Amino acid sequence: MKLKRALGRAAVLVALILPGAPALTDPGLIFEQVRLIDPASGAVSAPVDVVVRHGAIQEPHSAPEDALRVPAEGHYLMPGLAEMHAHVPPMRTGQQLEDVLVLYLAHGITTIRGMLGEAGHLVVRQRLASGELIGPRLITSGPSFNARSVASPEAAADLVRAQAEAGYDLLKLHPGLWPEAFRAISEAGEALGIDYSGHVSVAVGLDHVLDSRQGSIDHLDGYGQKLVPENHPLHGTDPGLFAVNLVAGMDADRIPDLARRTAAAGIANVPTQSLLENWATGDIDALMARPAMRWISESTRRQWLESFERIRSQIPEGSGERFISIRRELIRALQEAGSVILLGADAPQILNVPGDAIHHELEIYVAAGLSPAEALASGTTAVARYLGQADRHGCLAPGCVADLILLRANPLDNIRNSREIEGVMRAGRWFDRATLDGLLHAIEQRAAATP
């Protein structure tokens, strides 16, 4: 009860600093006697006081007398999570875009990497950074590089330069590229110091990507083709959706070598495994009945159901379970080989509710063989290393950006405890449970009212 009263005071503070409200002098906030979770080591600290002011964690002795105090004994503080394959709705969707951003934040996601951007998302990025919009920090790509947007290697290089000059954070690769176009993108991207990440086009292939400096491979794309031996009848045939057509020819004994090559190349992977498990083996009735679906409009749910039925019909009979088993084995091998795994669920793609899907993704990583600490690291400390931003991700030390999650239970004991969110802090701005519930209730009402 003491905690709830203190969090209620925090809700008042948050309400006062919502967009349009007058600015206040930052009095600071103290999480009192909270245990800190370090995903890198899997350690939990003794109870300590954590001081936050001016958007960053401060030295414990720096707290002003009028700081807001949040009694947090018996609770756990961990770094905010990153969703490294997220989607931000188009600007034309208006309120839907804002609701998706809130769904991410309410589930403890304080950074998203938008993997299909547009010019308006550069404005969204700034509005999120200033606090005008409620949501996570946005890292955004521009429109994707694909068979339609790239007509020649020269056009590909021109598009790289245009997107870099526009201010996008990375280049998104979609299917349909060929080796010469991929080489032009990689050379221009490297010259300008801009990341290029995403799919592995069939014509390009995994070998070319592993020889490049591509930042991340998303969806474990390209690995399925390499698992089929050259003398197998399925080698070189139409792989289908993420190589599901090739399951019968995949040799799992090839996985360790591919994992070692990936680690040596220094290329990260964003598995988005939850998305594919929904498609390949998910129980559609259970998926549609999840509590998180209350934030999704009836029209979107109907579209998702139609898409699910179409995709499921394209999966060869009896292949789904082995497809998922091989992908889980690949995730475990990549981790064991020292390759970088980055947390990502591809929300809000089919059946993946923004925010909720990331916790499903964490559970799958643990089921695949990662420890809870390793799973949490994929969305915290691994992101810090990948982006070269140790003060923004996975950090609970003085001087670090205060992107934090307050939990009622320890996720190192059970990864499902990552859902036990008491509050979220984004760059020092505190959203307690009551505030988050209010925001989520409003989204639920809008979803229910959508024709």
In order of their start, the domains of the chain are 2-78+393-449 (2.30.40.10)
pLDDT of residue 25: 58
What secondary structure letter does DSSP report for 339?
-
Residue 312 to residue 195: CA distance in whole angstroms? 33
**1: CB partners within 8 A, 6+ apart:** none
Cis peptide before 179 (omega within 30 of 0): no
Residue 202 to residue 241: CA distance in whole angstroms? 11
The mean per-residue pLDDT over the stretch 406-433 comes to 98
Q: For residue 9, what pLDDT band results from cuts at 50, 70 and 90?
A: very low
The mean per-residue pLDDT over the stretch 206-216 comes to 98
Residues 269-296 have pLDDT tens digits of 999 999 999 999 999 999 999 999 999 9
Give which of 204, 203, 210, 199 is closest to 242, Cα–Cα: 199
Residue 95 to residue 19: CA distance in whole angstroms? 15
The proportion of the chain whose per-residue pLDDT surpasses 70, expressed as a percent, equals 94
Q: Classify 204 as helix, strand or coil.
A: coil
Residue 109: CA atoms inside 13 Å, Cβ hemisphere, count? 33
Contact 308, 209 (CB under 8 A): no
Structure tokens at 412: 């190192």
Residue in the structure block whose two tokens are 């950006």: 401
Cα 189 to Cα 156, 182, 213, 252, 290: the distances in Å are 10, 10, 9, 34, 41
Distance, CA of 276 to chain centre: 15
The mean per-residue pLDDT over the stretch 303-307 comes to 97
Average pLDDT in the chain: 94
Task: Indicate if the pLDDT at residue 302 is higher than 90.
Answer: yes
Distance, CA of 283 to chain centre: 23
What's the predicted TM-score (pTM) here?
0.93
Structure tokens at 175: 């299917």
Contact 112, 89 (CB under 8 A): no
Distance, CA of 12 to chain centre: 30
Give φ, ψ of 422 to 5 degrees: -95, -25
